[in-house]
Amino acid sequence: MRRTNLLAFVALGVLAALTVVSQADALQAQKALKFYSFAFTVTPSPSPVGFAKPAAPANPVVPTQVAQLVADPFVGPAQVASADALSWDVAPGATMIAQSSVQPTPVPVQFVTKSDPNAAFLQIFPQAVPPAFPYGTTVIPCAFKVFTFYTNTYKLVDWGQGTVSSGGTMTFPVENYPTASYLSWAVPDFSTTTHTYSNSGAPGETTWAGNAHQSQTHCIDLTLNVPASQPAGAYQATIQYTLYVTLP
């Protein structure tokens, strides 16, 4: 009897623990999300510059012909541009004059600008980023800034947009898991340690956390590594930032 009561007590304790964990997970809710994206090109090493002799004119003008034209521009028989006896640039009697056509009246378009309802909680402010990067490692100090705020405790998480836990098709620089991303980040206000961007979708990685009513704005330093095997060309990186808040 005592053993049965002990087993029942243990089972009740396990159930209570699972209930607490389940409630803790339910208290986290997504409040807002933003995307940071930048396009750039990878440039190869400069190639040697050569010089070539300019080609001679296709139809050089004979000096004597120039002198005759200067003396009398109308000397000789009149010439009309023609490919053959039956083909003329402008056929006789078929002179065309440009005609104006009636254009339809443009339809007025009205744009309505709506404010972002989540701007009070999460905002991204892009800064100056170079348009081109060489091969090797390049650090971009304060590539952009992120603002966060909420009335309850919260956390900001990030991951490569469109990435999944396996089998994705993302390409350079935010490769898909399990290939490591070539783009890393750091928050210098907290630490100079760089973190390779998470590229396996949600839940991502925590960028930073905040207390209730805590407003924060921090720079994000980016580090881009371009391997020698990467073809030169145009690329784009997009990172998703999501704000999760603790519900009361």
Looking at residues 38-49, what average pLDDT do you find? 76
Residue 156 is predicted with a pLDDT of 98
When pLDDT is cut at 50, 70 and 90, the band that residue 131 belongs to is: very high
- Following DSSP, what letter does each residue of 10-69 receive, concatenated? HHHHHHHHHHHHHHHHHTEEEEEEEEEEEEEEE--PPPPP---PPPPPSSPPPHHHHHHH
Task: Give yes or no for a contact between 198 and 247, defined as CB atoms under 8 angstroms apart.
Answer: no
Residue 239 pLDDT > 50: yes
Cα(180)–Cα(77) distance, integer angstroms: 78
Looking at residues 49-74, what average pLDDT do you find? 56
Of 93 and 232, more confident: 232
Cα(133)–Cα(174) distance, integer angstroms: 15
Task: Give yes or no for a contact between 174 and 163, defined as CB atoms under 8 angstroms apart.
Answer: yes
Residue 32 is predicted with a pLDDT of 97
Residue 10 pLDDT > 70: no
Average pLDDT, the chain: 79
Residue 51 is predicted with a pLDDT of 46
Structure confidence by residue, pLDDT tens digits, 71-117: 666 666 555 554 454 544 555 555 555 555 666 777 776 666 677 88
Residue 165 is predicted with a pLDDT of 85
Cα(171)–Cα(159) distance, integer angstroms: 14
In this structure, which amino acid lies at residue 123?
Answer: Q
Residue 234 is predicted with a pLDDT of 96
Looking at residues 37-43, what average pLDDT do you find? 95
When pLDDT is cut at 50, 70 and 90, the band that residue 47 belongs to is: very low
Cα(47)–Cα(52) distance, integer angstroms: 16
Residue 159: left if φ>0, alpha if ψ -120 to 50, beta else—which one? beta
When pLDDT is cut at 50, 70 and 90, the band that residue 46 belongs to is: low
- Following DSSP, what letter does each residue of 150-207 receive, concatenated? -SS-EEEEEEETT--SSS----TTSPPTTSPPSEEEE-TTT-S--EEPP-S-TT-EEE
Residue 239: phi and psi, rounded to 5, are: -115, 135
Residue 111 is predicted with a pLDDT of 63
| Cβ count within 10 A of residue 182 | 20
Q: Which residues contact 162 (CB under 8 A, 6 or more apart)?
A: 168, 170, 238
* Residue percentage of the chain with pLDDT more than 70: 63
Which is it for strands 28-42 and 132-133: parallel, antiparallel or unpaired? parallel
Structure confidence by residue, pLDDT tens digits, 151-207: 999 999 999 999 998 767 788 999 999 999 999 999 999 999 999 999 999 999 999
Residue 34 pLDDT > 70: yes
